[in-house]
């Protein structure tokens, strides 16, 4: 009987291994996807002064949306890792990215003066699942340029898996902050934290890879620590008032008991 059970378990294990190797439980063979061209005006493209360098900028919004702009320098392709959305939001377009814009310059120069020096670039997009989504953007030629897209993500918590040497910028929604030991831990700590002209906080990491493999940002409304501090103060005062009240009541009861005991003795 025991041998029969062991044989059945072994057979189940072999079937599971066969399905996994054939991709039924998550194939690692890249799958090509078609994504309609996006809206250029939806993104905040800016040409850096001086030399064009690798970077990724994530604009976070309160409607659970993230808009990403990757800069690429003299490459024919870009591979990014997108962690699965834990909120369960899914899209019919593979890993769930849309509003894709890819613009570039095929020249050898890495110094540009304005965004008009970039134009639309033919591309292919493929992906496969491996814990998260590994997405590859392949260009028709080696380019200097931008890859921008949008995806959904759980609000107040952001992750980015580092896959190349680059500067990483995370732009919080207006009215949000990070850094509070209770509400907004950062891993790792950014090299720079600044406020832009739209009152948005920029968190900047200068080439965190390969020392770090993941950036984690837990952010919150700027007013939250003040509100929670006020609530905590109210609860503390209420607790003190309650403790004083019960202490007085107990003292009164003890006095009454002492009076009753004296009357009994008399």
By DSSP bridging, strand 55-60 and strand 167-171 are: parallel
Structural domain range at position 175: 19-222
On whether both 169 and 67 belong to a single domain, the answer is yes
| pLDDT tens digits, one per residue of 49-101 | 888 999 999 999 998 899 999 999 999 999 999 887 655 555 455 788 999 99
On whether both 25 and 123 belong to a single domain, the answer is yes
* Residue 7: pLDDT over 90: no
Among 122, 125, 143, CA closest to 135: 125
Identify the pLDDT of residue 227: 55
On whether both 208 and 230 belong to a single domain, the answer is no
Identify the pLDDT of residue 190: 95
The whole-chain average pLDDT of the chain stands at: 81
On whether both 115 and 205 belong to a single domain, the answer is yes
On whether both 248 and 152 belong to a single domain, the answer is no
* Residue 223: pLDDT over 50: yes
CA–CA gap between residue 58 and residue 193 (Å, rounded): 14
On whether both 50 and 137 belong to a single domain, the answer is yes
Residue 184: inside a domain, yes or no?
yes
| pLDDT tens digits, one per residue of 155-214 | 788 999 998 999 999 999 999 999 887 777 889 999 999 999 999 999 999 999 989 999
Residue 5: inside a domain, yes or no?
no
Percent above pLDDT 90 for the chain: 48
On whether both 228 and 150 belong to a single domain, the answer is no
* Residue 11: pLDDT over 50: no
Q: What CATH number has the domain bearing residue 209?
A: 2.60.40
On whether both 31 and 128 belong to a single domain, the answer is yes
Residue 14: inside a domain, yes or no?
no
On whether both 153 and 243 belong to a single domain, the answer is no
CA–CA gap between residue 92 and residue 238 (Å, rounded): 52
26: confidence class by pLDDT, cuts 50, 70, 90: very low
Burial of 226 (0-12, 13-18, 19+ CB in 10 A): exposed
CA–CA gap between residue 196 and residue 71 (Å, rounded): 20
On whether both 217 and 252 belong to a single domain, the answer is no
* Count of domains observed in the chain: 2
* Residue 123: count of CB within 10 angstroms of its CB: 18
On whether both 241 and 182 belong to a single domain, the answer is no
Global pTM?
Answer: 0.76
DSSP one-letter code for 172: P
Residue 10: inside a domain, yes or no?
no
* Residue 185: count of CB within 10 angstroms of its CB: 14
Identify the pLDDT of residue 105: 93
Residue 32: inside a domain, yes or no?
yes
On whether both 62 and 113 belong to a single domain, the answer is yes
* Residue 130: pLDDT over 80: no
Identify the pLDDT of residue 17: 43
Higher pLDDT, 142 or 253: 142
């Amino acid at each position: 009987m025991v041998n029969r059970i062991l044989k059945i378990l072994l057979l189940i294990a072999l079937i599971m291994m066969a399905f996994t190797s054939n991709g039924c439980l998550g194939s690692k063979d890249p799958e090509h996807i078609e994504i309609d061209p996006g809206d250029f005006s939806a993104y905040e493209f800016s040409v850096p002064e001086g030399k064009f360098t690798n970077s990724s900028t994530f604009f976070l919004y309160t409607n659970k949306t993230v808009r990403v702009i990757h800069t690429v320098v003299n490459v024919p392709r870009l591979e990014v890792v997108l962690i699965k959305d834990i909120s369960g939001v899914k899209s019919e377009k593979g890993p769930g990215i849309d509003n894709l814009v890819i613009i570039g310059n095929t020249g050898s120069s890495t110094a540009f003066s304005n965004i008009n020096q970039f134009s639309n670039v033919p591309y292919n997009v493929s992906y496969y699942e491996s814990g998260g989504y590994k997405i590859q953007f392949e260009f028709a030629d080696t380019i200097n340029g931008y890859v921008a897209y949008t995806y959904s993500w759980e609000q107040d918590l952001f992750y980015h898996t580092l896959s190349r040497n680059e500067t990483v910028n995370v732009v919080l929604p207006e009215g949000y902050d990070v850094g509070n030991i209770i509400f907004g831990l950062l891993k790792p700590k950014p090299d720079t934290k600044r406020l832009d002209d739209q009152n948005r906080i920029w968190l900047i990491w200068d080439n965190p890879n390969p020392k770090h493999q993941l950036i984690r940002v837990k952010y919150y409304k700027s007013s939250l620590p003040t509100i929670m501090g006020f609530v905590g103060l109210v609860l503390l005062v209420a607790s003190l008032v309650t403790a004083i009240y019960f202490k007085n009541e107990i003292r009164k009861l003890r006095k009454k008991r002492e009076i009753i005991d004296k009357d009994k003795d008399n």
